Amino acid sequence: MTLPPPFGLWPSDLTPRQMAAGLRLTDVQWDSTGHTIVWREVHDGRGALWALDLATPDAPRELTPGDLTVRGRLGYGGGDFAVGNGLLVFAEGASGRLFVQPLATGMPRPLTPAFGSVADPALAPDARHVLFVHSYEEQDCIAVVDSAGQHWPQRLFTGHDFYMWPCWHPNGTQVAFVAWDHPNMPWDGTLLYLADLDRSGGLPLVRDLHAIAGGPTTSIFQPCFAPDGRHLAFVSDQDGWWQIYLLDLATGEQRPLTSGVAEHAEPAWAQGMRTLAWSYDGQALAYLRNWGGLRELCLQPLAGGPPHVLSADTGYRWFNQIAAAPTTTAFATIGSSSVVQPQVIVADTSGTRSIRRSASAFIPTNQLAATHPVEWSVGDATVYGLLSLPPGYTPDGEEPRPPAVILIHSGPTGQATAAYNNDVQFFATRGYAVLEVNYRGSTGYGRAYVQALRGQWGVVDVEDVASGAHYLIENGIADAQRIVVMGGSAGGYTVYETLAQHPEVFCAGICRYGVANLFSVVADTHKFEAHYLDGLLGPLPEAAAIYRERSPLFHAERINTPLLIFQGSEDKVVLPEQSEAIVAALRRRGVPHRYHLFDGEGHGWRRRETVTAYYHAIEQFLKEYVIFA
C-alpha cells in the first residue's frame, strides 16, 4: 500500500520556474472608436502596451517598442497610459517622459522633457491636450501639454502636496481632479476640485476653480464625468463607507447612488486606479462593489431600480480597472478569482469574453485552492480573513493536520482579496492551509475598521495575526506546532513584531523587505509615505517613545524563531539596512535564519530569475524548519 505524501510535501505543478513565467496585467482601456482595447502587461520587469481590434479577427499586437518600458513613476506607480481618438499617450519608466504615438501604426515620440516623473495622462475629448500628474524635486502638480508637442508643458494646478485623477468634461472646458496634503494619506482625507478652462490659446488656462467635495476627514476616489456631460460621479466615505455619489452639474445637487455595508473604492496607493465607469449613453454607471474581499461588477441605472450584477455566474470573484466601451453596452476589466489567474475580459448583459490571460490554464481549477471569507473574535472585536485549504482537504479534527501559513498583506492600509494569489496557491498545492488575515486597519470593512489601527500599529495587527493562528488550531484546521507567519513591507513589520510578542505561536517566519526601525522609515522613505506614520503611531518627536517601543530592531533579542528574510538592493521604500540590522541581531545570538539580497530589485520582484530564486528559497527553508524540523 502506497501512503500519500505528508502535508507540505505534496507534489505541485506550480514550480518556482512556472511561478516566474507568467505576466502581470495592470490596466485596460478603450479607444474612442469602441473597436480597440488597449492593456498594459508586465513581463520580466518590462511594462508594454498591447491592443486588440474587436472588429477584426486579428491577433493582439504589441504597441510599444522594446527599448521603452511603460510605467508611471510617481509613488508606487500606476496611471501608465491613456488612449482616445486614435492616439496613445503613455509614461515611460526610464526617462520619466510622456510619449505619444498613433494607435494604428507609427513610432512613439516624446511629449515632455526628461525631468521629474509623470503619471496618469488624460486626453482631452478632442485629443488636442493632455493633462497629467507631474512631480519634480518633491513638488507635485497637474500639468498640461498639447498632443502635437508644439508647446512646452505648463503647470496648470499647483499648491497641494499630491494630485490624482485629472479628468475632462466631454465639452473639453471643465476638468475635475483630487488633491490632498500631508500628513493625510489619500484614504484619510482629500479634496475634489472642479475647474473651468479657457482653451482658446495654445495651452489651456484656468478661469475658475473650487472644491466641491471632501475634506480633511473625508476621502474622495476617482471622479468621472458622464458622457452626456450632465453628471460627475465620484466615491466618498463621508458616511463611513466608500459610496458612490452623483453631482448634477446644472443644479449643484449631490446625491448618493449606493448605500449599505459595502465598499466601492479602495486605498489609492497608485495613480489611475478605477472602480467606476459610465455607460456610453450616460444612463447607467458600472462599478465594483467589495465586501469581505470579494468584488462584484454591477451596473446601476440612473433612473433607479436594483443594480444588475454583470459578474454573476462568471466564476470571477475580483475585478480591477473597469473601463466602458464608448459606443456599446460593454465594459472591460481585469478579472480573476482564487482559482482563475487574471484575465482581460469584456462583459455586458449577455456574458463575458476573455481577451488576454496572464498565464496558461495548465492546472485544472479543482486542483487549486478555493478561497473563502472567514471571521473570528478578538475580545469585543471581529477580525476578518480569507481561508484557503489544500485542494481536496476537509478539516475533520483528526490527525494529521496540515501545516499552515498565515499571510499578512502590506500597507498596512490594504486588504487580502479573492483575487488570484501566487503565494496562496504555491503553499496550498503543497499541502499547507493558508489564512490571509485582514487585521483591524485593513480596508474593505468600513472607515471605522481602518481607523482601529490609528495609534495602534504593532498592537492590534499583531494581536489579530496571533489570534488567526489560534483560530486555525481551535477549529482543527492546522497543526499547532507547524504554523508559519509571512509578510512583506508593512506586513514584514508585523511578522517581526508578532514573532517578538508571541514567540510560542509560530515555528518559522518569512519576511520580505520588512520594516525594522520605524525612525528610519520616517527619515528615509519617499514623499508619499513621509507622514504615514503620523496617524499610525503619532508625529515625531512627540511620539519618539512609541516609535522605539514598537520598532522590532530595539527588541530583536526577543525573536528566537527561524527566519527567512528577503531584500532588494535598490529598495527605496524600506532600505536594505533595515533587513541587514535584523540579520545581524539574529547572527549575534545564533538564531537560525537565511538572508537573500537580490541585486537590482526594489520594493518587490520584477525579474524572472528573482521570482524563481525566491520560491526555491522558500521551499527549502520550509522543508528544513517546518516539515523536517
pLDDT tens digits, one per residue of 529-546: 999 999 999 999 999 999
Cell triple for residue 371? Answer: 478561497
Contact 441, 460 (CB under 8 A): yes
Paired sense of beta strands 381-388 and 404-408, if any: unpaired
C-alpha to C-alpha distance for 390 and 402, rounded to whole angstroms:
8
Residue carrying C-alpha cell 486542483: 367
Distance, in Å, from the CA atom of 514 to the CA atom of 38, rounded to the nearest integer, reads: 35
Residues 6+ apart with CB under 8 A from 301: 283, 284, 308
For residues 587 and 106, which has the higher predicted lDDT (pLDDT)? 587
DSSP 491-527: HHHHHHHHHHH-TTT-SEEEEES----HHHHHHHS-G
Q: What is the mean pLDDT of residues 574-600?
A: 96
In this predicted structure, the answer to whether residue 58 has a pLDDT above a threshold of 80 is no
Average confidence score pLDDT of the chain: 94
pLDDT of residue 11: 93
Q: What are the φ and ψ backbone dihedral angles of 271, each rounded to 5 degrees?
A: -70, 155
Whether the per-residue pLDDT at 386 is higher than 80: the answer is yes
Q: Is the dihedral of CA 464, 470, 475, 477 positive or negative?
A: positive
> Residue 189 — very low, low, confident or very high, per pLDDT cuts 50/70/90?
very high
Angle between helix 460-474 and 490-501 (nearest 10): 70
- Give me the sheet containing 139-146, strands edge to edge: 117-123, 129-136, 139-146, 154-157
Return the half-sphere exposure (C-beta side, CA atoms, 13 A cut-off) of residue 491. Answer: 27
Q: Is the pLDDT of residue 269 over 50?
A: yes
Instruction: Give the three-class secondary structure for 224.
Output: strand
Q: How many other CB atoms are found less than 10 A from the CB of residue 561?
A: 24
**pLDDT above 50 for 88:** yes
Cβ pair 147, 129 in contact under 8 A: yes
**How do the domains of the chain map onto residue ranges?**
27-274, 275-361, 363-627
SS3 277: strand
> CA 495, CA 487: separation in Å to the nearest integer?
6
Give the separation between CA 242 and CA 229, rounded to whole angstroms: 24
Distance CA 465, CA 498 (A): 7
| % of the chain beyond a pLDDT of 90 | 84
Q: Which helix (H) or strand (E) holds 567?
A: strand 563-568
- The reported pLDDT for the residue numbered 322 is 97
Q: What is the mean pLDDT of residues 270-291?
A: 96
Q: Are 268 and 192 in contact (CB under 8 A)?
A: no
> Is 405:465 a contact under the CB 8 Å cutoff?
no
Residue written as grid cell 498632443: 147
CATH of range 27-274; options 1.10.1060.10, 3.90.550.10, 2.120.10.30, 3.30.930.10: 2.120.10.30
Element (H, E) at 154: strand 154-157
> Does residue 7 register a pLDDT over 90?
yes
- Per DSSP bridges, beta strands 154-157 and 139-146 are antiparallel
* Arithmetic mean of pLDDT, 390-400: 86
Q: Report the range of poorest mean pLDDT among 53-67, 156-170, 266-280.
A: 53-67
* pLDDT at site 1: 44
DSSP string, 45-76: TEEEEEEEETTS-PPPEE-S-TT--B---STT
The predicted pLDDT at position 395 comes to 86
Parallel, antiparallel, or unpaired: how do β-strands 483-488 and 508-512 relate? parallel
In this predicted structure, what is the pLDDT of residue 629?
82
**Which pLDDT tens digit goes with each residue over 321-362?**
999 999 999 999 999 999 999 999 998 877 888 999 887 667
> Do 170 and 218 contact (CB within 8 A), yes or no?
no
Evaluate if residue 23 carries a pLDDT over 90: no
CATH superfamily of this structure's domain 363-627: Alpha/Beta hydrolase fold, catalytic domain (3.40.50.1820)
Rounded Cα distance between 622 and 618, Å, is: 6
Name residues whose C-beta falls within 8 Å of residue 561's C-beta, 6 or more positions apart in sequence: 499, 503, 506, 507, 508, 509, 591
Minimum mean pLDDT range among 164-173, 210-219, 365-374, 390-399? 390-399
pLDDT in tens, 429-460: 999 999 999 999 999 999 999 999 999 999 99
Given a contact cutoff of 8 angstroms between Cβ atoms, the answer to whether 95 and 114 are in contact is yes
pLDDT at position 477 is 95
CA angle 55, 57, 61 (to 5 degrees): 95
- The confidence band for 29, taking pLDDT boundaries of 50, 70 and 90, is very high
Judged against a pLDDT cut of 90, whether residue 167 lies above it is answered with yes
Which residues, other chains included, contact 475 with Cβ-Cβ below 8 Å and sequence gap of 6+? 395
Rounded to the nearest 5°, which phi and psi values hold at 616? -60, -45
Average pLDDT over residues 157-162: 97
Average pLDDT over residues 236-248: 97
For every residue of 229-270, DSSP letters joined together read SSEEEEEE-TTSS-EEEEEETTT--EEES--SS-BS-----S
- Please list, in sequence order, all residues whose beta carbon lies within 8 angstroms of the beta carbon of residue 545, skipping any fewer than 6 positions away: none
Cell numbers linked to 128? 488636442
What's the pTM?
Answer: 0.94
Confidence at residue 5, expressed as pLDDT on a 0 to 100 scale = 86
